[in-house]
Amino acid sequence: MVDSVSGLASLATRMSVQQTALDANVAVLNKIQDQQEAEGEAVVKLIESTSAAKGGIDVYA
C-alpha cells in the first residue's frame, strides 16, 4: 500500500512539473506569435508608405 501511495505521489509530482513546463512553453509561444504579428504589421506599413506603393508596384515585370 505504501508503495502505491508513493508511486501515485511521484506520478502526480511528475505530471505537475510537466504541466508547468508546458504552460511556460505555451506562454513563450504566444509572446513569439505576438511579436511576429507586430513585425508583420510594421512591414505592411513600411511597404504602404513607400513611394512605389503609392504609384503601384508591377509584380509581373
Contacts of 53 (CB under 8 A, 6+ apart): 47
pLDDT in tens, 8-57: 999 999 999 999 999 999 999 999 999 999 999 999 888 888 766 566 66
pTM: 0.64
Write down the domain spans for the chain: 24-48
pLDDT over threshold 90, residue 2 = no
The pLDDT value recorded for residue 48 is: 81
The pLDDT value recorded for residue 30 is: 98
The pLDDT value recorded for residue 55 is: 64
The pLDDT value recorded for residue 16 is: 97
